[in-house]
């Protein structure tokens, strides 16, 4: 819900990048940064309100989506111009990244813990 953790760091880096997009999954509880981002287009971090200029989309699906649902979602993204997918949750992220590359004109990277990327 965007109230803590690495997401706030990334939002401060990407908030004004026209090539980036914030995708929120599931319900955003009232009073959280996620809800504020959906309703007001901004988040609060370290007492500072940051206006987020990237596109924001909210998807209403279970946090426990299965393989079929995740593949359908990625298929829609890649069909709509997404160029790069970072699968980061689950035990088979490398295999999922390979599936993306094998099935779409879209790159996919399964990062290792602590690995950094610069996207240009």
Q: Are residues 50 and 71 in the same domain?
A: no
Q: Are residues 72 and 50 in the same domain?
A: no
- How many domains does the chain divide into? 2
Mean of the pLDDT values across residues 10-30? 87
Mean of the pLDDT values across residues 70-83? 92
Mean of the pLDDT values across residues 13-40? 90
Q: Are residues 70 and 56 in the same domain?
A: no
Please, is 8 exposed, middle or buried when counting C-beta atoms within 10 Å of its C-beta (0-12, 13-18, 19+)?
middle
Q: Are residues 3 and 55 in the same domain?
A: yes
The range of the structural domain enclosing residue 55 comes to 1-60
Last residue in a domain, options 42, 60, 78: 60
Name the pLDDT band for 119 (thresholds 50, 70, 90): confident
Predicted local distance difference test score (pLDDT) of residue 62 = 61
Q: Are residues 50 and 75 in the same domain?
A: no
Mean of the pLDDT values across residues 85-114? 90
Q: Are residues 4 and 37 in the same domain?
A: yes
Q: Is the pTM of this model over 0.75?
A: no
Provide the token pair at 21: 């997009």
């Amino acid at each position: 819900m965007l109230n803590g953790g690495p997401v706030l760091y990334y939002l401060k880096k990407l908030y004004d990048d026209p090539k980036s997009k914030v995708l929120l999954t599931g319900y955003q509880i009232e009073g959280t940064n996620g809800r504020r981002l959906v309703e007001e287009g901004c988040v609060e971090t370290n007492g500072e309100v940051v206006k987020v200029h990237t596109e924001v989309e909210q998807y209403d699906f279970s946090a426990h989506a299965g393989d079929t649902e995740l593949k359908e979602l990625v298929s829609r993204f890649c069909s709509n111009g997404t160029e790069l997918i970072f699968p980061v949750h689950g035990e088979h992220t490398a295999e999922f990244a390979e599936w993306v590359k094998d099935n779409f004109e879209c790159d996919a990277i399964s990062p290792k813990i602590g690995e950094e990327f610069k996207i240009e």
